[in-house]
Amino acid sequence: MTQGHPPAAGWPPPGNADPRYGAAPPPGQPTPWGPPPPAPKSRRGLWIGLAAGALALALCAGTAVGVGLGLRGDDEDGPAPKAAAGANGVTVTDAELAALLDRHSKALAAKDLDGYLAAFDPDRKDLIAGQTQLFRNLMKLPLSVARYEMLEKQGRVSDAFGQGVTFQLDVSFVHQLDGFDLAPVAEWYRWTIVRAGKDAPIRVVAVTGASAGGNGDSKTVYYPGPWDKWRDIHVERTAYALIITDAARADLAVRYALAVDRSVTDSLAVWRANAPPEPMTDKFVVTFAAGKDEMTSLYRIGTEKATEAGYSVGMVAAERKNGKATIGGTRIVVDTTDRYFTRSGGDNDARMVLRHEMAHSLMTLRTDLTAVDEFSKLDEWVVEGFAEYIAFSGRPLTASARTAPSLQLVRNGWNGKLPGNSDWDNPGMLTFHYWLGHTAMTHLADKHGEPKLFRFVEAVYAGTPTDRAARDVLGVSLDDFQAGWADYVRAQAG
């Protein structure tokens, strides 16, 4: 499974920006455990966590969401716009663009479709149809905040000879799902703007996702949302979740609603039983995808096809809090066609996948983003081991389908070491590494108690190096912990 954040130019993109938090490959082998499949290209196994990458993007190079980006188009006070202000000149000023976005925001708030469409070229029928569908989808969401803000423009905004101008404007859709997001978050669009002549109106002639930049695993910044991707969305609101799916598959949202709510209550029960600080939220946004193509293109456009069963995206807040970037909310996406979601025919496997992603989301919300450098180096065995521990909480280690093949690998000869982050690059061993992380958390809880397990994982997420977290929280060196855990693992193998 997976964990993720939003991007800004120069860093990897949302969810998959940091390679460690990229799209997750599948669980090494399906059940039954046969030979490993061809090596997936992305690093993480079954369900990672996308959060860190997008976060990195949002924090880099002074282009964080909510900080106000520089405009790369012509300076409206420079010589080109002044020349364009002549008798035949054409120009588009920042004030005009701000007014356009303000009208667009107000139309959305007023549920005024005609006003919302006024920004778009009426002759572009496909564009008008697409924006009409987007408007109707947005009307189905519990939006307490919804506004459009200017990020940056690219291209010539002025022409002194009256030839008209065409340029691109990156637009931030700042929004907050009421009761689910802790703070407003942002999705980035790229609008193509045209002014055909001096007295012509400003028209948007094309809309796509703004480029994330950098070398990450997503080409865009939280785009497309389900509201962009599907012609018609279905929104199922439960006591603990907002489930979003293609309206053509609304029956799945109804079918799995109870499983989603049970997954929330199961995860929170484990959390609260161990007296860590209260979770920052008990409600989650869950999107159902059908297949890996959809997994690759929800809240991101992946540079490689997804292979994971689910992922959790951490959304960086659109505005800083006390000068610091924070997580405003999370988005969980699961593939309802994946064998790990459907193999039993009931909802038990679905709940396992969901609990794993909720564990990522709960920890992501608590992450101190000032520790971004350390966060990008989190040990996989801690991140994924904790999520697996929560996924299987209350069930024996043998309940995991990873256990039997992993024990055989231990019997065949094993070095007794915790898997380092570079080890996760070996796709044929992902199942084993997930299991080793799971057993490390199980051993930690058995020896030191679940409250210390939570404190240890929180310390790591907060940027404390794992060896120091072991000393501070567990009272042992990481080497001593590893030695005791290796004995525990070998004992499981008989």
Residue 86 to residue 94: CA distance in whole angstroms: 18
Higher-confidence residue: 412 or 348?
Answer: 412
Give the per-residue pLDDT at 52. Answer: 44
Residue at 493: amino acid letter: A
Beta bridge partners of 237: 242
Region 423-450 average pLDDT: 94
Tokens of 132: 């009409």
Of the three residues 209, 228, 259, the one that is the final residue of a domain is 209
pLDDT higher than 90, residue 1: no
The tens digit of pLDDT for each residue in 125-150 reads 999 999 999 999 999 999 999 999 99
325 domain-assigned: no
Residue 350 to residue 384: CA distance in whole angstroms: 17
Q: What is the CATH number of the domain that holds 89?
A: 3.10.450.50
For the beta carbon of residue 28, count every other beta carbon within 10 angstroms. Answer: 25
Burial class (CB in 10 A: 0-12, 13-18, 19+), 83: middle
357 domain-assigned: no
Give me the sign of the Cα torsion angle 294, 298, 303, 307: negative
Q: Please say whether the beta carbons of 27 and 45 come within 8 A.
A: yes
Helix pair 348-365, 250-273: axis angle to 10 deg = 60
Higher-confidence residue: 455 or 424?
Answer: 455
Of the three residues 190, 209, 228, the one that is the final residue of a domain is 209
464 domain-assigned: yes
Give the per-residue pLDDT at 367. Answer: 81
Give the per-residue pLDDT at 347. Answer: 61
260 domain-assigned: no
Q: Please provide the average confidence, as pLDDT, over all residues in the chain.
A: 83
Virtual CA dihedral for 43, 49, 54, 59, nearest 10 degrees?
A: -110
pLDDT higher than 80, residue 453: yes
Residue 133 to residue 95: CA distance in whole angstroms: 28
pLDDT higher than 90, residue 56: no
399 domain-assigned: yes
> What's the pLDDT band for 482 if we cut at 50, 70, 90?
very high
Burial 250-287 (b: 16+ CB within 10 A, else e): bebbeebbebbbbbbebbbebbeeeebeebebbbbbbb
- Nearest by Cα to 299 from 377, 375, 212, 369: 212
> What's the pLDDT band for 21 if we cut at 50, 70, 90?
very low
> What's the pLDDT band for 87 if we cut at 50, 70, 90?
low
Residues 6+ apart with CB under 8 A from 127: 120, 121, 204, 205, 206, 207
Of the three residues 183, 209, 235, the one that is the final residue of a domain is 209
Give the per-residue pLDDT at 132. Answer: 98
For the beta carbon of residue 479, count every other beta carbon within 10 angstroms. Answer: 10
Sheet holding 233-237, edge to edge: 3-4, 310-316, 327-335, 284-289, 241-246, 233-237
Give the per-residue pLDDT at 86. Answer: 57
The tens digit of pLDDT for each residue in 241-286 reads 999 999 999 999 999 999 999 999 999 999 999 878 888 899 999 9
For the beta carbon of residue 117, count every other beta carbon within 10 angstroms. Answer: 18
pLDDT higher than 90, residue 369: no
Q: What is the 3-state secondary structure (H, E, C) of 282-343?
A: CCEEEEEECCHHHHHCCCCCECCCCCCCEEEEEEEECCCECCECCEEEEEEEEECCCHHHHC
Q: Please say whether the beta carbons of 216 and 53 come within 8 A.
A: yes
317 domain-assigned: no
pLDDT higher than 90, residue 54: no
Give the per-residue pLDDT at 100. Answer: 98
pLDDT higher than 90, residue 49: no
Residue 26 to residue 47: CA distance in whole angstroms: 8
pLDDT higher than 50, residue 62: no
pLDDT higher than 80, residue 475: yes
471 domain-assigned: yes
Question: 146 lies in which domain range?
Answer: 79-209
> What's the pLDDT band for 79 if we cut at 50, 70, 90?
low
**Span of 47-56, 376-385, 402-411 with lowest mean pLDDT:** 47-56
> What's the pLDDT band for 2 if we cut at 50, 70, 90?
low
Higher-confidence residue: 303 or 429?
Answer: 429
Higher-confidence residue: 423 or 148?
Answer: 148
Greatest mean pLDDT among 59-68, 312-321, 365-374 lies in 312-321
201 domain-assigned: yes
Structural domains counted in the chain: 2
The tens digit of pLDDT for each residue in 198-246 reads 889 999 999 999 998 775 678 999 999 999 999 999 999 999 999 999 9
